[in-house]
Chains A and B, each alone.
Chain A
Amino acid sequence: MAVNFVRPKIPKFAPDPWAIQFDEQGHLRHLLTIEGLGPQWITRILDTAEGFVSVTDREIKKVPLLRGRTVVNLFFESSTRTRTTFELAAKRLSADVLNLNLATSATKKGESLLDTLRNIEAMQADMFVVRHEQSGAAHFIARHVAPHVSVLNAGDGWHSHPTQALLDAFTIRRHKGDFTPLRVAIVGDIRHSRVARSQMHVLNSLNVGELRVIAPRTLIPTDVEKLGVRVFHDMREGLRDVDVIIMLRLQRERMESGLLPSEEEFYRLYGLTEEKLAWAKDDAIVMHPGPANRGVEIESSVADGPQSVILEQVSNGIGVRMAVMSLCMSANRGENA
């Protein structure tokens, strides 16, 4: 079905900040942001993930691709779910995995980030998976690692969470196929969400029919239309005829006071209930990057309901992260991919 929506022009960015993601032969070396990847690399990651998802369905959920390689999870900010899926992805590729919770150690004792990096590199690490509260942290690390090391951004500040956006796109593709006829709505705390930013970039790259954001004015960043979205403040209007609803977590820890009257009011206006879900298409799927606040962003019966693909997102996250890890390692070692 044709979607009558004139896409706002997306600003052109200088390629340099993202060029670091590729090696001299143009192969993926780091995954830091969705920007600059382009539809070809995004599609290649999603296609590769299909193979890995089938691995996770087997009795022995392991392949020997990264045997002998070491993946280090550098988590400067806590995140059990993301860390666990990266860890599982690396282990299913047969890599050795080190989990370093740096929120409570080295850098808190006064060691500089670069000293920490050098020390971990000396442990023969091949890949760093970085979660940091500061936007740009993964870029910074990627600029300073040894040539054989890849860096994956597992979430930096308000900036980017590329693997989450890729697994969301993967999940949508599995359910809906082609992106071009789809209407997708991202609902909730857009302003504080790195996931939303990455989702907008990935869905626009894949030429989604129409991308909407639905939120109160206080939770929408200025000039968000420049990212290729239509803005709605009313759920009934925003959810009309959508194929995919992506609910976001209220980032209370990043929120200044006064942005929301109360969680109760947010839930009343923007929480996804069964009643509001009925405003979307009958076969619309419901997504959430987790962890979901039930009764704040989403009603329990919707989160657990037949249209919810939230748990599939978690499973798909492992396959997508396996794909990204193997593609980055592959580019790092080889002459061609």
Chain B
Amino acid sequence: MTPTDRLLPVNEAIDRLEAQIRESRQRGEFTDPLIVGIHTGGVWVADALHRALGCTEPLGRLNITFYRDDFHTLGLHPQVSPSDLSVDVDGRDIILVDDVLFTGRTVRAAMNELFDYGRPRCIALAVLYQRDGRELPICADWAGQEVALGPDEQIHVDGPEPITARLVSSKES
């Protein structure tokens, strides 16, 4: 996928994601995955994928607030809705879903939390947008779009229905 400085519309990015995951499943990978979204944008995307892929088991929701490594500098988020993983994750193939992959710290925290629920067989990462700026050696297995952004740019994802995304520049605000 070629890096681009323009954002693909969310529905197109989800279609691309879905196609990539279906391809993997046709190769025999992730035949019976558990889909887990990271609160909040990741849950919206996970929900769309969950419906598109026709998964029957309930969608998992992770709120990584209690696992963040910046708690001592940023504090506790005022709205902490509990994580919800009603299905046993032991030995399962998990598709972890987030809206934007940036530094990689959120995904690290989510994996830490997942392992407190049990020991999955494997975890794959699906993100709507994969941008530059990684601070940890983490990359997505499937991305709706790869985006190169300037140092002042951010992607804002809104939802839940419809999910929308826009580029925001701190220079403008």
Q: Is A63 an interface residue when CB atoms closer than 8 A count as contact? A: yes
A334 in contact with B116 given A48-B80, A63-B66, A64-B67 (CB within 8 Å): no
A58 in contact with B74 given A47-B79, A48-B80, A51-B82 (CB within 8 Å): no
Q: Is B112 an interface residue when CB atoms closer than 8 A count as contact? A: yes
Docked pose: A65 CA to B74 CA in angstroms:
12
Docked pose: A53 CA to B66 CA in angstroms:
12
**Within 8 Å CB of B84, what residues of A?**
54
Q: In the complex the two chains form, is B78's CB within 8 Å of A337's CB?
A: yes
Q: In the complex the two chains form, is B118's CB within 8 Å of A333's CB?
A: no
Q: In the complex the two chains form, is A335's CB within 8 Å of B73's CB?
A: yes
**Within 8 Å CB of B81, what residues of A?**
50-51
Q: Is A129 an interface residue when CB atoms closer than 8 A count as contact? A: no
Docked pose: A203 CA to B56 CA in angstroms:
43
Q: In the complex the two chains form, is B116's CB within 8 Å of A60's CB?
A: yes
How many Å from the CB of A141 to the closest CB on chain B? 23
Docked pose: A197 CA to B65 CA in angstroms:
33
Docked pose: A54 CA to B86 CA in angstroms:
11
With both beta carbons as reference points, the residue of chain A lying nearest to B74 in the complex is identified as: A334
Q: In the complex the two chains form, is B71's CB within 8 Å of A330's CB?
A: yes
Partner of A64, one of B66, B73, B74: B66
Q: In the complex the two chains form, is B67's CB within 8 Å of A63's CB?
A: yes
Partner of B66, one of A47, A65, A335: A65
Docked pose: A52 CA to B80 CA in angstroms:
9
Q: In the complex the two chains form, is B66's CB within 8 Å of A331's CB?
A: no
Q: In the complex the two chains form, is A50's CB within 8 Å of B80's CB?
A: yes
With both beta carbons as reference points, the residue of chain A lying nearest to B90 in the complex is identified as: A59
8 A Cβ contacts from B79-127 to A: 79-84, 112-113, 116-118
Interface size on A, residues (CB 8 A): 27
Q: In the complex the two chains form, is B79's CB within 8 Å of A331's CB?
A: no
8 A Cβ contacts from A1-49 to B: 27, 44, 47-48
Partner of B76, one of A58, A60, A64, A330: A330
Per-position 1/0 for A304-337, Cβ under 8 A of B: 0000000000000000000000110111011111
Q: Is A227 an interface residue when CB atoms closer than 8 A count as contact? A: no
Docked pose: A166 CA to B105 CA in angstroms:
33
Range, interface on chain B: 20 to 34
Q: Is B72 an interface residue when CB atoms closer than 8 A count as contact? A: yes
Q: Is B28 an interface residue when CB atoms closer than 8 A count as contact? A: no
Q: Is B130 an interface residue when CB atoms closer than 8 A count as contact? A: no
Docked pose: A48 CA to B75 CA in angstroms:
12
Q: What is the interface of chain A mostly: helix, strand, loop, or mixed?
A: helix
Q: In the complex the two chains form, is B76's CB within 8 Å of A326's CB?
A: yes
Per-position 1/0 for B46-83, Cβ under 8 A of A: 00000000000000000101110001111110111111
Q: In the complex the two chains form, is A334's CB within 8 Å of B72's CB?
A: yes
Q: Is A240 an interface residue when CB atoms closer than 8 A count as contact? A: no
Docked pose: A48 CA to B65 CA in angstroms:
10
A51 in contact with B74 given A59-B118, A60-B116 (CB within 8 Å): no
With both beta carbons as reference points, the residue of chain B lying nearest to A49 in the complex is identified as: B80
A337 in contact with B66 given A58-B117, A59-B117 (CB within 8 Å): no
Q: Is A176 an interface residue when CB atoms closer than 8 A count as contact? A: no
How many Å from the CB of A26 to the closest CB on chain B? 12
How many Å from the CB of A331 to the closest CB on chain B? 7
Docked pose: A303 CA to B93 CA in angstroms:
45
Docked pose: A54 CA to B80 CA in angstroms:
11
Docked pose: A63 CA to B82 CA in angstroms:
13
With both beta carbons as reference points, the residue of chain A lying nearest to B63 in the complex is identified as: A51
With both beta carbons as reference points, the residue of chain B lying nearest to A51 in the complex is identified as: B80
How many Å from the CB of A100 to the closest CB on chain B? 25
Q: In the complex the two chains form, is B75's CB within 8 Å of A334's CB?
A: yes
- B residues near A (Cβ < 8 Å) are 63, 65-67, 71-76, 78-84, 112-113, 116-118
Q: Please provide the 10 A-B residue pairs with the shortest distance between their CB atoms, ordered closest to farther.
A: A337-B75, A54-B82, A334-B75, A63-B66, A330-B75, A51-B80, A333-B72, A60-B116, A330-B76, A51-B82
- A residues near B (Cβ < 8 Å) are 27, 44, 47-48, 50-55, 58-60, 62-65, 326-327, 329-331, 333-337
Subset of 20 A-B contacts with CB under 8 Å: A27-B75, A47-B79, A50-B82, A51-B66, A51-B81, A52-B66, A53-B82, A58-B116, A63-B113, A64-B66, A64-B67, A65-B76, A326-B76, A330-B72, A330-B75, A333-B75, A334-B73, A334-B74, A335-B73, A336-B74
Q: Beyond the given A51-B65, A55-B82, A59-B116, could you list 18 further A-B residue pairs with CB under 8 A, ordered by the A residue number?
A: A27-B75, A50-B80, A50-B81, A51-B82, A54-B82, A54-B84, A59-B117, A59-B118, A64-B67, A65-B67, A326-B76, A330-B72, A334-B71, A334-B72, A335-B73, A335-B75, A336-B75, A337-B76
